[in-house]
Amino acid sequence: MKQFGQVCAALRRKNRAHSALLAGCCFFSVLLITAYGIMMRSPTILAVLPEGGDSRKQVMMIFVLAVIGCAVFTVYASGLFFRHRSRQTGILLALGASRRQLRRQLYRELAGLTAVSCAAGALLAAPLAWGIWQLFRLFVVDSAQMALRFEPRAWGIALGFSAFVAVLLFAAGGRSVRRANIIETVQEVHRSEPIRAVPRWYGPLGLCLLAGGGLLGYLAPSVFVNGLHWYPPGGISGLFYLPALAGLYMILLHTVVNGWRTRHAYRDLIATSLMKFQGRQTVRSMLVMTLLIGGGLFAAFYTPMIGTGSMMSYDARPVDCAYHFRADQNGPGQSEVEQLAAEYGVALTSWAEAPMARLAVDGSYQLEEEGPVGTTWRSVYAQQARSVLVLSESGYRALTGEAVELAPGQTAGVLDATGSGQDRFEADATLFTNPLTGQQLAVTLAEPLRNDLLLGCYVLDDGDWAALSEGLTGEWQEQMVFFNVENEQDSYPFARALFDRIVDGSGPEVAVLDGWDPIVRQRYLAQEGVYFLDPEQSEEANFPRMDYSQRDSSDFRLYWQYMPRFRVLDKADFVRTTAVFLMLFVFIAVLCLSAVIVIACTRCMTIAQSSRQVYSDLRRLGAPGRYLYHSARSQVRRVFLTPTLAGFGLIFGFYGLILYFNDGRLTSGELAGLAVCLGLAAGVGALLWAVYRLTLGRVCAALAIRRR
The DSSP-derived string for 225-242 is: IIIS-EEPPTTTGGGGGH
Residue 325's H or E segment, with its range, is strand 321-326
- The whole-angstrom separation of Cα 238 and Cα 223 is 13
Task: Write the pLDDT tens digit of every residue in 247-298.
Answer: 888 888 877 777 666 655 555 666 666 666 666 677 777 888 888 888 888 8
Q: End-to-end alpha-carbon separation of the chain, Å? A: 51
Outline where DSSP puts E strands in 344-439: 348-371, 374-392, 410-415, 431-433
Interacting residues of 202 by C-beta distance below 8 A, sequence separation 6+: 250, 251, 253, 254, 258
- Confidence at residue 517, expressed as pLDDT on a 0 to 100 scale: 95
User: Beta strand pairing status for 410-415 and 458-460?
Assistant: antiparallel
Burial-class residue 55 by CB neighbours within 10 Å (0-12, 13-18, 19+).
Answer: middle
Contact present, 365 and 382 (Cβ < 8 Å): yes
- The whole-angstrom separation of Cα 599 and Cα 687 is 15
Report yes or no on whether pTM surpasses 0.85: no
Tally of CB atoms within 10 A around 90: 20
| Pure H helices in 179-241 | 182-188, 202-222
- The whole-angstrom separation of Cα 495 and Cα 478 is 21
DSSP string, 478-495: EEEEEEEESSGGG-HHHH
- The whole-angstrom separation of Cα 495 and Cα 567 is 9
Q: Count CA atoms closer than 13 A to 13's CA, side-chain side.
A: 5
Angle between helices 242-257 and 625-663 in degrees, nearest 10? 160
* Amino acid at position 42, single letter: S
Task: Write the pLDDT tens digit of every residue in 452-504.
Answer: 999 999 999 999 999 999 999 999 999 999 999 998 888 999 999 999 999 99
What is the SS3 assignment for 396?
helix
CA 197 to the chain's CA centroid: 37
Interacting residues of 596 by C-beta distance below 8 A, sequence separation 6+: 289, 292, 293, 296, 643, 688
List the helix and strand counts (H, then E) for the chain.
24, 12
Contact present, 255 and 287 (Cβ < 8 Å): no
Query: What residue ranges of the chain have pLDDT lower than 50?
Result: 1, 185-192
Interacting residues of 701 by C-beta distance below 8 A, sequence separation 6+: none
